Amino acid sequence: MPKLGMEPVRRRALIDATIAAIGDAGTLDVTMSDIAGRAGVSSALAFHYFGGKDDLLLATMRHILAELAADARVALKSAETPRARLSAILDVNFSAKQFRPEIIAAWLAFYVEAQRSEPLRRLLRIYAGRLHSNLMSGLSALLPREQAQTTAEGIAALIDGLYIRRALKQGEPDAASAIALVEDYLSAKLP
Amino acid sequence: MPKLGMEPVRRRALIDATIAAIGDAGTLDVTMSDIAGRAGVSSALAFHYFGGKDDLLLATMRHILAELAADARVALKSAETPRARLSAILDVNFSAKQFRPEIIAAWLAFYVEAQRSEPLRRLLRIYAGRLHSNLMSGLSALLPREQAQTTAEGIAALIDGLYIRRALKQGEPDAASAIALVEDYLSAKLP
Amino acid sequence: MPKLGMEPVRRRALIDATIAAIGDAGTLDVTMSDIAGRAGVSSALAFHYFGGKDDLLLATMRHILAELAADARVALKSAETPRARLSAILDVNFSAKQFRPEIIAAWLAFYVEAQRSEPLRRLLRIYAGRLHSNLMSGLSALLPREQAQTTAEGIAALIDGLYIRRALKQGEPDAASAIALVEDYLSAKLP
Amino acid sequence: MPKLGMEPVRRRALIDATIAAIGDAGTLDVTMSDIAGRAGVSSALAFHYFGGKDDLLLATMRHILAELAADARVALKSAETPRARLSAILDVNFSAKQFRPEIIAAWLAFYVEAQRSEPLRRLLRIYAGRLHSNLMSGLSALLPREQAQTTAEGIAALIDGLYIRRALKQGEPDAASAIALVEDYLSAKLP
DNA sequence: AATGAATGAGCCTTCATTCAT
DNA sequence: AATGAATGAAGGCTCATTCAT
């Protein structure tokens, strides 16, 4: 029973289904039919709205990054000191919403795919740039320029490293200890 | 004209071809035909020697890890202080032989695949364990147990993070600055 | 705001769009969506007015043939001798309006399709019959019955042959030389 | 039960099956599965040997034209006068082997497709050139240059026209009357 | 009068895998 | 030891068509 204004609803449902499918499979190697099935529509509709598999995947990654960016924006708004900004960023990156098996799996899968897809690479680079500048917004008040840069890179690498290492473990991700590890790094670096 | 004793030669050629193929593609999503073609044999031969694609892939990962382990063993043998052991480990992980685009790509691809393949996950866990104990063999003499543990985990995460972040860059990997970053971390942590 | 009396307007727009689409594609293998898009309406409307793709195609061919018949009727009206009738027929068939790339493409495509579609075949046969009788209306005064028949068939085949051979050439169709060729044939046949 | 040296056998079977399929359908719009099924193999094999549908289609047209060229070569070899050469060409073009429903259907379908496919267009142009030069090899001894050219073009157009008009008829093609028509044209043109 | 929403069916293509030789 | 021959299964994508609004 066709209704009007379904487009945004379907788009969102398909993106959510894509994340779920990738989360289950641990790869981008999921079928359009699977995704569409999870969203409760035919695969043809997914093509109708997104044009093709690559586009759906790209839209999905874009969605994930947009959520992350929105969360970060909110968290930073209530941080009152540079040090608090840093903790806020970590909290967001390892929040219950982000540090979930599905999101982690999608994250990794997209990283791998980025080696082949220029648009995807661009997307991830933008995210990396945003993370870096967010980190610098806290670090540059606490460390000399050079050291701030190095530390920002270190934190970024640590975050990605902690994400990827999750792939080897089973059970629920342990955000607390991940955060603790990065905070420990920060403590060692800050005077 | 069939020759005798070709088996080890073919196996090695196929594994090298697999690494090359994965390196070019940036995924495990390479065909057996492509791999066999690169090795100069028919794809049927790859099946003959390895049984199937998964097995070939597993053998390839095993080979990469074995090389890494061998390199580490050699490097640690000539390290004379605990601190030197740590640097030796870093040097090996970011050596010209390991920190190459192909190996990096394979690494990532296998990490992702590990989410689906138990044998692969086991393999990577063994490597992670080995890295951890290698790091501890240096750290436990320099830091209290607890701190040594945390630092070892931090370094391991940093290494993986630096590997994964390579996927976003182009051009040759910059081993020197990767090492510098980890060494900087170490300096901050060690008294 | 729905308007009244839109039906004939839409039907005509859709038929014109069909000719244009076939002309561009060189096949009947055009999508209803493409056609509807060119006509500025939704594809559902095309179904509403024509019932289905085959019906739209048939209506289009019918339209082309009707135009041709109308042109022929006018041209023959002002022809005063049998010989003039023949030239008039040729002029119409190779007129700027008929001997256009789009029409030629449609023509061929429909001929091919006629092998599968009985209604289409009937349509083309009617056109063939009309052409034949038009030609006879000139020839029978100039040649004995038998010879007139043969000549009419020859001219008809020549016309179709000249149309089909256009498919291999590029650039604008050269009506003049086509007409010259048939006129040359006529001159040879007429005493 | 795999045998060696099957390649040429399969290629030929697939080309024959393609002609048959096109003949039955009256279009190039036949499926690879249908073709492969007729040839008694899986569709995957058709891809294996030909690379894709377009390539198989092209190979099929090439095959048809090669057969025609071979027949023409033989027929011309035993023609002893210029006039005999002309009749020989007609006999070949309307021989029982060429003027068959399947070949006619394929012919037309390829003509239509030529509007879209450059390689196909090139192929048909080569055939047209060959027919023209064959015709000129007879005509240039019988008519002044200019007239010979025109006549060659006329005959070529007549042949194609007679082929295309077959699409409207049913039952077996009537080669005799087709030849008679062209011969009549020739008689009128030759002194 | 007109369309957005939705889908079933089908096609091209790829690939891991098998097997007789 | 090595391969040519062959295929089943699956996936991305397209399109004519329907229907409630």
The domain limits of chain C are 60-189
Amino acid at C115: Q
Residues of C with CB below 8 A from D111's CB?
108, 164, 167-168
User: Of all nucleotides in the shown strands, which has a C1' nearest the CA of C39?
Assistant: E2
Q: What does the pLDDT read at residue B1? A: 43
Q: What is the CATH number of domain D7-189?
A: 1.10.357.10
Name the residue closest to F11, CA to C1': A31
Average pLDDT over every residue of A48-53: 97
The CATH architecture that domain A59-189 belongs to is Orthogonal Bundle (1.10)
Contact C168 D112 (CB under 8 A): no
Half-sphere exposure of D67 (CA within 13 A, CB side): 17
User: Of all nucleotides in the shown strands, which has a C1' nearest the CA of A33?
Assistant: F11
Sign of CA dihedral C153, C159, C164, C169: positive
Tokens for D131, please give them. Answer: 């027919």
Q: What does the pLDDT read at residue B3? A: 61
Q: Which of B105, B112, B161 sits opposite A109 (nearest CB)?
A: B112
**CATH topology (fold) of C60-189:** Tetracycline Repressor; domain 2 (1.10.357)
pLDDT band at C191 (very low <50, low <70, confident <90, very high): confident
Average pLDDT over every residue of A76-98: 96
Sign of CA dihedral D51, D56, D61, D65: positive
Buried b (16+ CB within 10 A) or exposed e, C56-75: bbbbbbbbbbeebbebbeeb
pTM exceeding the 0.85 threshold for the entire prediction: yes
Residues of A with CB below 8 A from B181's CB?
150, 153-154, 157
Nucleotides of E under 7 A from a protein CB: 1-21
- Residue A67: how many other CB atoms lie within 10 Å: 13
pLDDT band at C173 (very low <50, low <70, confident <90, very high): confident
Q: Which of residues 14-73 of A touch strand F (CB under 7 A)?
A: 30-33, 43-44, 47, 51-54
List of residues 6+ apart from A32 with CB closer than 8 A: A43, A46, A47, A53, A56
Average pLDDT over every residue of D147-164: 96
Q: Do chains C and D touch (3 or more CB pairs under 8 A)?
A: yes
Amino acid at D185: Y
List of residues 6+ apart from D24 with CB closer than 8 A: D30, D102
Asked if the model's pLDDT at residue A1 lies above 60, the reply is: no
A174 and chain B: CB distance < 8 Å anywhere? Answer: no
D38 CB contact with strand F at below 7 Å: no
pLDDT band at A4 (very low <50, low <70, confident <90, very high): confident
Q: Which of A105, A114, A158 sits opposite B157 (nearest CB)?
A: A158
List of residues 6+ apart from B90 with CB closer than 8 A: B155, B159, B179, B182, B183
- Taking the C-alpha atoms of residue C54 and residue C111, their distance in angstroms, rounded to an integer, is 14
- Taking the C-alpha atoms of residue C52 and residue C72, their distance in angstroms, rounded to an integer, is 30
Asked if the model's pLDDT at residue B106 lies above 80, the reply is: yes
Q: What does the pLDDT read at residue C81? A: 96
pLDDT band at B167 (very low <50, low <70, confident <90, very high): confident
Residues of A with CB below 8 A from B121's CB?
167-168
Nearest one of A140, A167, A137, A136 to A25, comparing CA atoms: A167
The alpha carbon of residue D28 is apart from the nearest alpha carbon of chain C, in Å, by: 10
Q: Which of D150, D164, D167 sits opposite C181 (nearest CB)?
A: D150
Q: What is the mean pLDDT of chain D?
A: 94
Burial class (CB in 10 A: 0-12, 13-18, 19+), D154: buried
Q: What does the pLDDT read at residue D1? A: 46
> When comparing pLDDT for D64 and A2, which is higher?
D64
Tokens for D167, please give them. Answer: 């699409």
Q: What does the pLDDT read at residue B4? A: 65
Residues of B with CB below 8 A from A128's CB?
165, 168
**Tens of pLDDT along B41-86?**
999 999 999 999 999 999 999 999 999 999 999 999 999 999 999 9
